[in-house]
A and B are shown apart, each in its own frame.
Chain A
């Protein structure tokens, strides 16, 4: 599938939920969308485009947490990063595990390091931190 086609399809499918589309370079595209539309766009990329889920990055922006879902379209070497912004204190988003199994570990990681709750995740226990890690203590948070 062509690069322009993928970008155009994301635009059409997100409609007014598209906040920003940053066409950074030939192989890097960043798309900021509302969290409600995320599962739909992920289904498009993972199931229709057959993009590979590279990983997700959680970033504490002090006022909230941003999650970037990086998808790699290997045939054309393109990385599409879907950015979703969650405002504190309501750090909650739908889990993507029903669409792609490979999101299970990284959602657990973001949960324990940044305190984001992934609704509908089948196994929201610690991935990297030990089980008796103090509750409410998130190592990658930046709030005072």
Chain B
């Protein structure tokens, strides 16, 4: 059968991980998908071998522009594992606070983009508007809105100041009514239900087969979360629960992320109350021969770092695996059988960082002539929502 092929990607101005999807379509239905990655290969694993252990934290922070602290978190966990040490209590709490602030702003960013793709541009504006106070908190604590440079092997680089705590708490508590608003907007809107429920579903078996992680797995009812399963930082010192949903589709992934906003806020507030005074750094001088594995539950799922040390000043081998590496591959399962107008939101539902849609082009396979571009595809998706909305 003469399929048409829709190339999506590889570059998008919002995206830090360009990838390229080639949708094979038969009429409106997606029948196959090829996924290509590697457009932004920097071979950071190789560069890490030429940096000192201390410098590596700055390097790997540049892997991701949104969840920039996930990699240093997993990396420092790997160093702790290699050395068999526990960093000072206060540093654990500071690390946890930074990790959770990042989860909040990353989920809000996703929520905004998902709203945009579906034609809910107000949700987009709101979500990004309320992401700002979170970035303000990051700036107050670390001096930066992103790329915080807080982590170092053996602790953190900067202390937090108790006089900031009341302001941080107030800013966070003020966000809770906004989260309620998003929850209402998603849970109570019949059009969103119709548009996203049962779309791009991954079953529990698919989750295992593709070994996906994070909200992508939890939205299929699989309660994996490194923060609970392999506790680190201060996650075992505060009360919180792992959010799951049994739907498996785009709707379930949105619900999981929205409910996680509350859990993250809750974790930060408890950390601010419980944080003890004291040292923030172990001042590690030498690295013994050995190997260590560190993990962190990033907003998109488990980040995995493996460090091998030969006793020198730099890692002999540093393996990095970001959650999208596992999650993007599952699109092969999630998108097939759905229509082109749903493909945009399904490919976005694993939160792969949005390389794709803007530069998308629908091309006639035989002539190579462009039929649609990325804006057309977003428009197609938005029109479908609009049609449903009017049909009510």
- Interface residues of chain A, those whose CB is within 8 Å of chain B, are 25, 27-28, 30, 50, 52-55, 57, 59, 68, 70, 72, 74-77, 79, 81, 100-102, 104-106, 126-130, 139-140
Contact = CB atoms under 8 A, between A and B. Distances in A.
A127 B37 contact: yes
Closest 4 CB pairs of A and B: A128-B38, A77-B230, A57-B319, A55-B321
Contacts of B208: 50, 52
Given A104-B329, A128-B41, 14 more contacts: A25-B81, A27-B230, A53-B211, A55-B319, A55-B321, A59-B308, A70-B304, A72-B230, A72-B302, A74-B229, A106-B325, A127-B37, A128-B37, A130-B38
A59 B306 CA distance: 11
B210 A57 contact: no
Contacts of B317: 57, 59
B76 to A, nearest CB: 16
Contact of A70 (B84, B210, B213, B306): B306
Given A52-B208, A54-B211, A57-B319, A127 B38 contact: yes
Nearest to A77: B230
Nearest to A30: B291
B326 interface: yes
Contacts of B325: 55, 105-106
Interface bracket on B: 20 to 34
B237 interface: no
B345 interface: no
Interface string B69-107: 000000000000100100000000000000000000000
A59 B45 CA distance: 11
A105 to B, nearest CB: 6
B212 to A, nearest CB: 8
B41 A102 contact: no
B38 A55 contact: no
Contacts of A101: 209-210, 329
B367 to A, nearest CB: 24
Contacts of B321: 54-55
B389 interface: no
13 contacts: A25-B84, A28-B81, A30-B291, A50-B208, A52-B211, A54-B211, A55-B326, A70-B304, A70-B306, A77-B230, A79-B293, A105-B329, A139-B43
A129 B41 contact: yes
Contact of A77 (B37, B43, B231): B231
A14 B48 CA distance: 35
Nearest to A46: B208
B138 to A, nearest CB: 29
A30 B292 CA distance: 11
B205 to A, nearest CB: 11
Contact of B293 (A81, A106, A126): A81
Contacts of B329: 101-102, 104-105
Interface in B38-62: 38, 41, 43, 45-46
B224 interface: yes
A75 B302 CA distance: 15
Contacts of B41: 128-129
A55 B210 contact: no
A140 B46 contact: yes
Nearest to B222: A74
A4 B302 CA distance: 25
Given A25-B81, A101-B210, A55 B304 contact: yes
Q: Which of B209, B306, B316, B329 counts the most chain A CB atoms within 10 A? A: B306
A102 B210 contact: yes
Contacts of A75: 229
B319 A74 contact: no
Contacts of A139: 43, 46
A50 B230 CA distance: 17
A54 B302 contact: yes
A53 B211 CA distance: 6
Nearest to B43: A139
